[in-house]
Amino acid sequence: MEKGEDAVMRRIGVVVAATCLAVAGCGGGGGSNDQGVSFRALGVFQESPEQFAPAADTFPTADEAVGDTGRSIDFATTQFLPTDTNGDGDLDGGFLGFENLLVNQRLNMQGVHVEIFIPGAVINPVVTDFVPLTTVLGPVPDEDSDDTANIRYSQTLFVSADVMAFLNQNPALLPPLPFNMNVVMRGEAISDSGDFFDSNEITYNVLVQ
């Protein structure tokens, strides 16, 4: 076997091991979150509406959030996701929404587990990653309160430059262009009492050309 093939196989082994560890770690620390009952991933969102400089972008809020349903990318030139789709100099979309449904405890976000699934690839998930994302979700507010601190939208690079570089450097693992890439994400958080919670999964669809 050639050195290049050795490197690919070692990488595949790392990916498989990382996936197993991620599965084993779900719900660790005593937390319970059956299908997002306690800690919910709301989806991927964009600016609402997208503004152009010098006007400030209007970010999603609990009162107004526009879904980011996916996008098409040029495989050879895209370095990460989300991207600057309209060329205004900043990233567009890619706001991940999360909601804390615990009544008396805050949730401290740790990050987002990312799995890349590509139909027709040699192995799935093709690669896994963990993206740090730190924010605090307040407890569910009282019935008479207008507080929405239990809902947060944070923009992050959920497909990192390292992941995109790995995909570009290993075409033998992938189907011919164009292909669909499903980015599956779930949040990880720790409650005030020290329990770990994983959110439900959300999927972002990308057409790779």
The confidence score (pLDDT) of residue 51 equals: 58
Q: Which two tokens stand for residue 168?
A: 């570009």
Domain count, the chain: 1
What tens-digit pLDDT sequence spans the chain (209 residues)?
A: 444 434 333 333 334 333 333 333 333 444 556 568 899 999 999 986 555 555 566 788 888 888 998 999 999 999 999 998 877 778 889 999 999 999 999 999 999 999 999 999 999 999 999 999 999 999 998 877 777 899 999 999 999 999 999 999 999 999 999 999 999 999 999 999 999 999 999 999 999 99
Nearest alpha carbon to residue 196 among 22, 18, 44: 22
Q: What is the pLDDT of residue 19?
A: 37
Distance of CA 157 to CAs 19, 92, 183, Å? 20, 11, 12
Whether the CB-CB separation of 174 and 167 falls below 8 Å is answered with yes
HSE-up (13 A, CA, CB side) for residue 168: 16
pLDDT reported for residue 105: 95
Query: Residue 57 has what pLDDT?
Result: 67
Helices H, strands E: what count in the chain?
2, 11
Its domain, for residue 172, covers 3-208
Write down the pLDDT at residue 90.
83
Q: Which pTM does this prediction carry?
A: 0.80
Tell me the C-alpha to C-alpha distance, in Å, between residue 62 and each of 106, 122, 148.
17, 40, 7
Q: Which residue has tokens 């497909």?
A: 159
User: How many whole angstroms separate alpha carbon 154 and alpha carbon 39?
Assistant: 15
Q: Are 116 and 182 in contact (CB under 8 A)?
A: yes
